[in-house]
Amino acid sequence: GRALLAGVIGDPIAHSLSPAIHEYWLKSYSIDGSYVPLHVKGPRFADTIEELRSLGFRGCNVTLPHKERAFALADWRDPAAEATGAVNTLVFSEEGIKGYNTDVFGFSENLKATLDPIDNYIDSCLVLGAGGAARGIIYALQLLGARQIFLSNRTHEKALKLAHELQSLEGDASSISCVPWEEKETVLKSVSLLINTTQLGMVGQPPLEISLNSLPKTAAVTDIVYKPLKTGLLEAGEVRGARVADGLGMLL
Ligand code: ATR
């Protein structure tokens, strides 16, 4: 009855690498515990959390499509969760359920480790996509000190809405400009970091179609997709001579 229990909740969940990663660490540090994948549909999320708490789970990770539900359920949230409206880690404590967003930390630590020195790349960023992942990533870029953030999304209105919400968070620290999806290549020449936050390029999804011909060779390219590890976008970035950072580091 002392084994530490935790897991990851999502729908789908079979693709998740989190159980393998956590089981590795449990074993490496000789921790008596287990970390399991939990396939849970949307309407069952809140009940499942209650069940896990009553079974003695210490907490769980939360992935698509439950990050906003986890946010709503938490009694306390860390600043990154408050800023992004998304929670990917729930800790069950005596004071209640604590909600954390480690995506923001994961994204920026991976960039700092891979694109060293990060100050060379952070000045002017182009973010593709305006979904839940983009929200955390733009917030991370603001914290890293980005001066100019271009935001381009297939549905332009979503980009405008996200820019408006995030602009007011960090005041004038970084300016966010929305670029229509069809015109995203026109800003590439003044970009030091290009980030794909959409699922385009993932196994089973359409490719991300963008020409990097005008991207400066001194720029860097990163992708949150990690299946395949080297996406079409990262391959194109390498051909262009840019530095690249893959998406696995953020997950780790
Ligand atoms: P996540 O939480 O992973 O960001 P999401 O909130 O569903 O997931 O966001 C997915 C992002 O990928 C969105 O920016 C979406 O664009 P729309 O807002 O127009 O839906 C983008 N996306 C998905 N499929 C796309 C496609 N075929 N072409 C261009 N963008 C796409």
Catalytic, 67? Answer yes
Question: Would you state the pLDDT for residue 171?
Answer: 55
* Euclidean distance between CA atoms 93 and 195, whole angstroms: 36
Question: Would you state the pLDDT for residue 172?
Answer: 54
**213 CB neighbour count, 10 Å cutoff:** 10
Q: Which residues of 22-46 are buried (b: 16+ CB within 10 A; e: fewer)?
A: beeebeeeeeebebbbbebeeeebe
* Euclidean distance between CA atoms 197 and 42, whole angstroms: 23
Among the atoms of ligand 1, which is closest to the Cα of residue 133? 4
Strand order in the sheet with 220-223: 175-178, 148-152, 124-128, 193-196, 220-223, 243-245
- In the reported structure, the alpha carbon of residue 155 is separated from the centroid of ligand 1 by a whole-number distance in angstroms of 9
Q: Which residues of 93-109 are buried (b: 16+ CB within 10 A; e: fewer)?
A: eeeebbbbbbbbbbbbe
pTM: 0.90
Q: 74 - beta bridge partners?
A: none
The one catalytic residue among 67, 158, 189, 227: 67
- In the reported structure, the alpha carbon of residue 225 is separated from the centroid of ligand 1 by a whole-number distance in angstroms of 12
Q: Which protein residues are within 6 Å of ligand 1, measured from CB?
A: 129-134, 153-155, 158, 197-200, 206
Question: Would you state the pLDDT for residue 133?
Answer: 86
- In the reported structure, the alpha carbon of residue 22 is separated from the centroid of ligand 1 by a whole-number distance in angstroms of 28
Average pLDDT, the chain: 94
- pLDDT digit string, tens, across residues 189-244: 999 999 999 999 999 899 999 999 999 999 999 999 998 999 999 999 999 999 99
Per-residue pLDDT of the chain (252 residues; tens, 9 = 90+): 689 999 999 998 988 899 999 999 999 999 999 999 999 999 999 999 999 999 999 999 999 889 999 999 999 999 999 988 899 999 999 999 999 999 999 999 999 999 999 999 999 999 999 988 898 999 999 999 999 999 999 999 999 999 998 886 655 567 999 999 999 999 999 999 999 999 999 998 999 999 999 999 999 999 999 989 999 999 999 999 999 999 999 999
Question: Would you state the pLDDT for residue 165?
Answer: 87
